[in-house]
């Protein structure tokens, strides 16, 4: 974990490994971003039905593709103007689908709070860009952190039953300092400009 209390910067270690995959240079980053919807969908369907190993496969596949698109765009000079949008939208759709799929396993109130807190954290991360500031990935409940928690919970659920309301509550609780850190950093960066 970085000093920012999140997994966001660990993507650079994964990028070094992904860069060695054959043919990765020939891929288009936006196509890779859109392709991440496939493992996201797998993870959500598997979550709904309690197929825990497939939840893990889906989340791991999504993580790999969402890191790979940035690698291709930045390292191989394939950035496009719409790239940040195409990168972000499938991740947000994937999050929403995965968290809605908690409904058979968690209390609806916790699922609603999970969706709301994920949305607030995401908004606090991307809104600074509208004001000319830096994107804020900081905090223990950023996008990669949330799905890593679900992946870990699914791995545990293979062996012992778990209470998914507790998993949802954990992410909601971690979203509070994440939101606060993002707002604070944005205020420091832009508040006196």
Write the CB contacts of 78 (distance below 8 Å, at least 6 apart in sequence): 28, 29, 72
> Which domains are present in the chain?
8-190 (1.20.120.1760)
Give the closest residue to 139 by CA, choosing from 176, 102, 107.
176
Q: Is the pTM of this model over 0.95?
A: no
Whose tokens are 């980053």? That residue is: 29
Per-residue pLDDT of 139-186, as tens digits, reads 899 999 999 999 999 999 999 999 999 999 999 999 999 999 999 999
The total of other beta-carbon atoms located within 10 Å of residue 61's CB is: 17
Per-residue pLDDT of 55-101, as tens digits, reads 999 999 999 999 888 888 888 888 899 988 998 999 999 999 999 99
């Amino acid at each position: 974990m970085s000093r920012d209390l999140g997994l966001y910067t660990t993507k650079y270690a994964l990028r070094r490994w992904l860069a060695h995959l054959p043919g990765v240079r020939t891929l288009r980053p936006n196509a890779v971003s859109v392709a991440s919807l496939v493992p996201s969908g797998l993870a959500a369907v598997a979550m709904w039905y309690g197929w825990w190993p497939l939840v893990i496969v889906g989340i791991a596949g999504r993580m790999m593709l969402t890191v790979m698109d940035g690698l291709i765009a930045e390292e191989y000079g394939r950035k496009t103007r719409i790239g940040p949008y195409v990168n972000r939208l499938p991740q947000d759709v994937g999050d929403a689908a995965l968290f809605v799929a908690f409904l058979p396993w968690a209390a609806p109130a916790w699922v609603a709070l999970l969706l709301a807190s994920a949305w607030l954290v995401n908004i606090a991360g991307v809104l600074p860009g509208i004001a000319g500031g830096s994107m804020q990935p900081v905090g223990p409940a950023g996008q990669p952190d949330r799905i890593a928690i679900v992946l870990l919970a699914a791995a545990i659920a293979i062996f012992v039953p778990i209470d998914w309301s507790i998993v949802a509550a954990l992410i909601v609780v971690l979203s509070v300092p994440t939101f606060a850190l993002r707002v604070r950093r944005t205020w420091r960066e832009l508040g006196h400009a």
